[in-house]
Structure 1
Amino acid sequence: MTAPLDIVILGLSLSSSWGNGHATTYRALLRGLAEEGHKVLFLERDVPWYAPHRDLPDPDFCELQLYDDPAAMLDRYRDRLTRADVVIVGSYVPDGVQIIDALHALNPRLLCFYDIDTPVTLDRLDQGDEEYLAARQVGLFDIYFSFSGGAVLQHLEQQRGARRAEALYCAVDADRYGPMDLPQKWDLGYLGTYSPDRQPTLESLLLEPARLLPDRRFVVAGPQYPDDIDWPANVERIEHLPPAQHVAFYNAQAFTLNVTRAAMRRMGWSPSVRLFEAGACATPIISDDWRGLNELFPDGEAIVIAQDTQDVVAVLTGLTDPARRALGENARRRVLAGHTGRARARELARVLHGARADRMERT
């Protein structure tokens, strides 16, 4: 355990998991930080679309404060921001560009960025979209923590001007995700908010197999799907599934599907938190393909990588139950060995302590 750190995080959401994958990522990481003895203040913009869906309004592992006005927030927490060992701004924070400039002007001990959407962020910057981060700001941070690893880190440093890029993958809270002895309700399920660039893959790897296998049961859970989607009769729809129900959801599936956003597939090394959640439950995973996935979960050993509809049909109809169970157990071992919230918290603390020491040597 490293020396305690005082950390301030400005993130999209901790209190509500509705329609975003950030909340569960932050929850696992912050619980891990608390277990390691670190102190965290999480500052979240109070926005109307999350207000009715707050499934964690009062976390017991950190201090959570909601704010309405960024300028007032920065003024109120000025002393805390300048005294903290590190200030971390997350991707998709409303008014992020203005907030980052203001924080940089405060000159905190360490200023970092945590991009939980790295390939999407870079795509948006290429299109001139600077909603939450400006291209000129990439080099302002002492460390650019990235949801994506591998070659993406070199790209950030060599092409985007990051001073230092470090991978900080999503993680799972191992105390809350694990195997359960439940009846199997579905042969294949998917958990994810609607995204236009994911929908063709969902069509190919779940809806088409459902049409070809009318005697099998499928499920798609997540909000914001358009009304005009042609759902097969054997595909159950769940509009929103709060995190407290994720474990039972995974455990009721023979297989779960992982679908990756197009920008993340192109850049690779971008594991979704759903991979680690399902893996922790020992639920066998079928996933689309991208660079780096085979390094995290070897194909045929801890995951099945599917290229098309027929690959999914072949798995659902041809894989023996012992082989299916072995896939899930191997995935669980890998997740517990290196992808828990506590493991990720240790990675973060180690990097931050090293950066603090380097900065003190320079001053």
Structure 2
Amino acid sequence: MKIAFYGSSLLSSYWNGAATYYRGLLRALAAHGHEITFYEPDAFGRQQHRDIEPPEWCRVVVYEANPEALARAAVEARQADVVVKASGVGYADDALLAGLLEAAAPHAIRIFWDVDAPATLAELHAAPEHPSHAALKRLDLVLTYGGGDAVVDAYRALGAADCVPIYNALDPSTHHPVAPDARFDATLGFLGNRLPDREARVEDFFLAAAEALPQRDFLLGGSGWGDRDLPPNVRDIGHVPTRDHNAFNVTPMAVLNINRASMAATGFSPPTRVFEAAGAGACLITDDWPGIDLFLKPGEEILVARDGRDVAEHVAGLTREDAGRIGQAALRRVLAEHTYESRAVLVDTLLRRLVADKAAGAAA
């Protein structure tokens, strides 16, 4: 099938947490015989901070962030068998969705792929006149990168024909164990951009833990922290490109995952960081959220913390030997159950079923 996928960016992870998800899933889908074109706007400095060049398994079209270029990109959807509009493209999202619904061929499957369901649903519930309410009824399927039953039920209640979570996962070809790198030496590392919905939780889970353990070294990676007052034992290294994520994960004794508040409350929303770290064999400490045990077993494959005090206790009681054992258990689990290939099998099955159903309906 020809898939036209409109998202934030495949080429750059700069201020774009969905990059790893897109790359892993679309690469795996391409291996199932799909011909994929990814459309992304030239916005937010991402093209100046590319992590990868266009890959052989996907054609990439970068369009200018203006109405004329967006319209030209949207029209190309009429050549596709599957048209996907992701959430959070970042430029004229509503206009893009409307343009794609108009351009898509009658036989095409129309999909909205939500990579931040808690935020999207909050926006829709707060705005009954939002154009996406009408658009949902014209779609064949909503896919989300997490959320569980709460998100599925919410989308169906809003009029979606169906909603299926396609969880984050591991691409073993890009995220895997490597040798430690002295640039990332620390007791505990945290990698995440500074976002309003996360900052208070970073203060609680990471910075408070650092203050409680002044003799330990803490490493902070991600964009936006430069003007933030930090404890003296926290080293801010700024944006960490994707090519360095493996080394960042394996070098500290442990690494920390902190979900944004809305995703933690919704649950069943493991970010890419969870699988990146597990895929590198890192010992991962995560904030507590419903559904963790669907992916990794607390206490054996991942450590769970309710607050910064729990994080500090985990770090204080952890040895390199314990951390290595937890990291290896996590690596075995994600390789067995949580790769992008397994997610792609589900997506491929859904697409083929929808195509067959639409063809049968047209023939009736």
TM-score of the two chains, using structure 2 as the length reference: 0.91
Pairwise mapping of residues 14-29 of structure 1 onto structure 2 (< 5 A)? Answer: 14-29=10-25
Deviation (angstroms), 1:66: 0.9
Matched, 1:6 2:2: yes
Q: d(CA) in 2 for partners of 1:251 and 1:76?
A: 40
**8 Å Cα contact 1:10-1:90 kept in structure 2:** yes
Deviation (angstroms), 1:254: 1.1
SS in 1 for 2:204: helix
**8 Å Cα contact 2:136-2:160 kept in structure 1:** yes
Deviation (angstroms), 1:359: 1.3
**8 Å Cα contact 2:257-2:284 kept in structure 1:** yes
Provide the residue aligned with 1:254 in structure 2: 253
Provide the residue aligned with 1:95 in structure 2: 92
Deviation (angstroms), 1:142: 0.5
Deviation (angstroms), 1:343: 2.3
**8 Å Cα contact 1:152-1:269 kept in structure 2:** no
Pairwise mapping of residues 296-315 of structure 1 onto structure 2 (< 5 A)? Answer: 296-315=295-314
User: For the structure 1 residues 51 and 180, does the alpha-carbon distance in structure 2 shift closer, same or farther, using more than 3 Å as the test?
Assistant: closer
**8 Å Cα contact 1:70-1:99 kept in structure 2:** no
Matched, 1:45 2:47: no
Deviations for 1:250-301, whole angstroms, at most 9, x for unmatched residues?
1112111111111111211111000010010110111111111122112112
User: For the structure 1 residues 295 and 268, does the alpha-carbon distance in structure 2 shift closer, same or farther, using more than 3 Å as the test?
Assistant: same
Amino acid in structure 2 at the alignment position of 1:196: P
Provide the residue aligned with 1:340 in structure 2: 339
Q: d(CA) in 2 for partners of 1:63 and 1:107?
A: 19
**8 Å Cα contact 1:264-1:270 kept in structure 2:** yes
Q: d(CA) in 2 for partners of 1:15 and 1:201?
A: 29
Amino acid in structure 1 at the alignment position of 2:37: L
**8 Å Cα contact 2:7-2:86 kept in structure 1:** yes
Deviations for 1:31-62, whole angstroms, at most 9, x for unmatched residues?
21233332110111112522321222322221
User: For the structure 1 residues 179 and 226, does the alpha-carbon distance in structure 2 shift closer, same or farther, using more than 3 Å as the test?
Assistant: closer
Q: d(CA) in 2 for partners of 1:130 and 1:66?
A: 31
Deviation (angstroms), 1:70: 4.8
Pairwise mapping of residues 179-328 of structure 1 onto structure 2 (< 5 A)? Answer: 179-182=177-180, 185-225=185-225, 227=227, 229-328=228-327
Q: d(CA) in 2 for partners of 1:12 and 1:140?
A: 22
Deviation (angstroms), 1:183: 6.0
Q: d(CA) in 1 for partners of 2:292 and 2:262?
A: 15
Deviations for 1:76-130, whole angstroms, at most 9, x for unmatched residues?
663x522322010111122121222222223431010111111111122233399
**8 Å Cα contact 1:6-1:86 kept in structure 2:** yes
Deviation (angstroms), 1:353: 0.7
Q: d(CA) in 1 for partners of 2:120 and 2:213?
A: 38
Matched, 1:159 2:183: no
Amino acid in structure 2 at the alignment position of 1:217: D
SS in 2 for 1:140: coil
Q: d(CA) in 2 for partners of 1:288 and 1:115?
A: 23
Deviations for 1:6-32, whole angstroms, at most 9, x for unmatched residues?
111011111211111122211111221
User: For the structure 1 residues 107 and 177, does the alpha-carbon distance in structure 2 shift closer, same or farther, using more than 3 Å as the test?
Assistant: closer
Provide the residue aligned with 2:140 in structure 1: 142
Q: d(CA) in 1 for partners of 2:43 and 2:152?
A: 35
Deviation (angstroms), 1:135: 2.8
Matched, 1:81 2:80: no
Q: d(CA) in 2 for partners of 1:89 and 1:35?
A: 21
User: For the structure 1 residues 334 and 129, does the alpha-carbon distance in structure 2 shift closer, same or farther, using more than 3 Å as the test?
Assistant: farther
Q: d(CA) in 2 for partners of 1:186 and 1:170?
A: 27
> Which 5+ residue runs of structure 2 have no aligned equivalent?
none
SS in 2 for 1:230: coil
Q: Root-mean-square deviation (CA), in Å?
A: 2.1
Deviation (angstroms), 1:153: 4.0
Q: d(CA) in 1 for partners of 2:300 and 2:221?
A: 26
**8 Å Cα contact 2:74-2:99 kept in structure 1:** no
**8 Å Cα contact 2:41-2:62 kept in structure 1:** yes
> Which 5+ residue runs of structure 1 have no aligned equivalent?
none
Deviation (angstroms), 1:143: 0.8
SS in 1 for 2:61: strand
User: For the structure 1 residues 67 and 181, does the alpha-carbon distance in structure 2 shift closer, same or farther, using more than 3 Å as the test?
Assistant: closer
TM-score of the two chains, using structure 1 as the length reference: 0.91
Provide the residue aligned with 1:125 in structure 2: 124
Q: d(CA) in 1 for partners of 2:125 and 2:58?
A: 35
User: For the structure 1 residues 151 and 204, does the alpha-carbon distance in structure 2 shift closer, same or farther, using more than 3 Å as the test?
Assistant: same
SS in 2 for 1:257: strand
